[in-house]
Amino acid sequence: MQRSGYKCLKCDDSGIRLSILARNRYAQATLCDCVKIPCPTCKGSGFLLENDEQQREIAITCPDCEERERRIRLYNSARVPKRFVNSRLQREHRDDSNTEIFDLLELIVRNLPDFLHGLDLQRPDDELFKGMVLMGPPGTGKTHLMTGFTYQCTVMLGISCVFQGFSELLSELRQGYSDGKSDVEIIEPHLRADLLIIDDLGKGRNTDWELSILDTLISERYNRNQLIMATTNFTEQEETTLKERSLAGDKADKEHYISDTIRKRVGERIYSRLQEMCYFENLSGPDRRTEDVL
């Protein structure tokens, strides 16, 4: 994918440019203007001629064209919200608050291809290769980092990925029921992808139905030994977790809050699986939405 000789600032020299369309809720990948047309490898035909074992001339798909188109499809299928069209794991976004998270994400990016090829990888400290549950208050940059990670996986590595807001998934399931679709039909793409990223894990009313959907996703990927990542405003400690106003009791009591941990929000079964599948990492720092850091 990398082309030597120059650096295109529009596409990071990948040949794939990201943009937003007014009627589309997700960022879109297209062929960058810097890509030579027609393709110098296949002269624009999309095919190359080579000899098989019997020295017969056969046509094969141009590998350069095919791989670029495949990565465009991977990014467009990842469903990155268009607000995060410019998200990358860029060095200029590294600071004292997120440097450890950056290091871990970059480590996962480097080792992910080998993991998908079935190699038994370990971190330098002899811990097993895992995904990540990124915890922290609203506005600390969790979604920005994970959508940047999605870009690295799809465009730069050619790895299939689904970035899924949990509330959005629930809405799609409800709409799917109206259209006569089953849970399996809607969830299946999340199980086929090499990597699933759940945004806002634990958000919602925490009903039995919501937890059953989450349990299906986590358990199926757990059984298939598939990688999973997540962001959440809830942490493992009540002192640091998101505090939400309780709906119980006197409605006039505006100061009554509950402090659910991520363990309470998802339940013991899901939490136990996530503990085995992921590193639980805290991201602190200022609210970057108000301080305009990212």
Q: Tell me the pLDDT tens digit for each residue of 47-82.
A: 888 887 888 888 888 888 999 999 999 999 999 999
Do 89 and 152 contact (CB within 8 A), yes or no? yes
**Quick one: average pLDDT of 157-167?**
95
Work out the pLDDT band at 254, boundaries 50, 70, 90.
Answer: low
State how far the Cα of 15 lies from the Cα of 34, in Å rounded to an integer.
7
More confident residue, 265 or 23: 265
The tokens for 159 are 């790895």
Residue 259 has pLDDT above 80, yes or no: no
Give, in degrees to the nearest 5, the angle at Cα 152 between 127 and 210: 70
pLDDT at 255: 55
Taking alpha carbons only, the member of 291, 288, 292, 201 closest to residue 241 is 201
Q: What is the mean pLDDT of the chain?
A: 87
Structure tokens at 178: 């109206």
Q: What's the confidence (pLDDT) of residue 119?
A: 66
Question: Pairing mode, if any, of strands 28-31 and 16-19?
Answer: antiparallel
> What is the band of 2 on the pLDDT scale with cuts at 50, 70, 90?
very low
Convert the pLDDT of each residue in 114-154 to its tens digit: 888 876 555 555 457 899 999 999 999 999 999 999 999 99
Label residue 12 by pLDDT band (50, 70, 90). Answer: confident
Read off the pLDDT band of 92 (50, 70, 90): confident
Fold of 79-291: Rossmann fold (3.40.50)
- Pairing of the two strands 131-135 and 278-282: parallel
The DSSP symbol for 37 reads: S
Average pLDDT on 241-266 reads 70
CA distance 76 to 246: 39
* Confidence class for position 294, pLDDT limits 50, 70, 90: very low
Higher pLDDT, 256 or 266: 266
Integer Cα distance of 239 and 250 in angstroms: 24
pTM, rounded to two decimals:
0.86
* Residue ranges of domains in the chain: 16-66, 79-291
In sequence order, what are the residues at sequence separation of 6 or more whose Cβ sits closer than 8 angstroms to the Cβ of residue 279? 104, 127, 130, 131, 132, 133
The whole-number pLDDT of residue 64 equals 86
Q: Which amino acid is at 145?
A: L
pLDDT band at 250 (very low <50, low <70, confident <90, very high): low
How far apart are alpha carbons 34 and 16 in whole angstroms?
9
| C-alpha separations of 94 from 99, 125, 270 in Å | 6, 23, 31
Residues in the chain: 294
pLDDT at 87 over 70: yes
Q: Looking at the predicted structure, is the pLDDT value of residue 249 above 60?
A: no
